[in-house]
Amino acid sequence: NAGVTQTPKFQVLKTGQSMTLQCAQDMNHEYMSWYRQDPGMGLRLIHYSVGAGITDQGEVPNGYNVSRSTTEDFPLRLLSAAPSQTSVYFCASSYRGTPGNTIYFGEGSWLTVV
């Protein structure tokens, strides 16, 4: 049981380049989301999905794109990288139900835009 798998773990991009952060989960969770974590800002929601074919914006969606073609995969695309997108990115999945409300996070992707 791999849980939530993110790739790559580290990436350096030049301003203006595009790239995709991959995320896959093997727990058959309905909900998947992407967060960025910055010092003093905590975890901020970028985009989320409540199921295959359905996505929605979170708190900080600008400059990012997502799609959810399958239950398992939820890639995050940076369209034209900017230094302000230097951050640690976490993919997460969760299930709807009780008890609990557990979010499972990936290991993180450290992105630097120069």
Partner 1 sequence: QKEVEQDPGPLSVPEGAIVSLNCTYSNSAFQYFMWYRQYSRKGPELLMYTYSSGNKEDGRFTAQVDKSSKYISLFIRDSQPSDSATYLCAMSVDTGNQFYFGTGTSLTVIP
Residue 33 vs 55, nearer CB to partner 1? 33
Name which of 43, 47, 78, 84 is nearest 63 in CA terms.
Answer: 78
**CB nearer to partner 1: pick between 58 and 63:** 58
Nearest-angstrom CA–CA distance, 34 and 92: 6
| Eight-state DSSP code of residue 86 | -
Q: How far is the CB of 95 from partner 1 (least distance, A)?
A: 6
For residue 76, the one-letter residue type is: L
74 makes contact with partner 1 (CB under 8 A) = no
Compute the least distance from the CB of residue 107 to partner 1, in Å.
Answer: 5
- Does 64 bind partner 1 (CB under 8 A)? Our answer is no
The owner of tokens 């969770």 is 29
Q: Name the CA radius of gyration of the chain, rounded.
A: 13
Give the nearer residue to partner 1 in terms of CB position, either 85 or 93: 93
Under the binding rule (CB under 8 A), the answer on residue 75 touching partner 1 is no
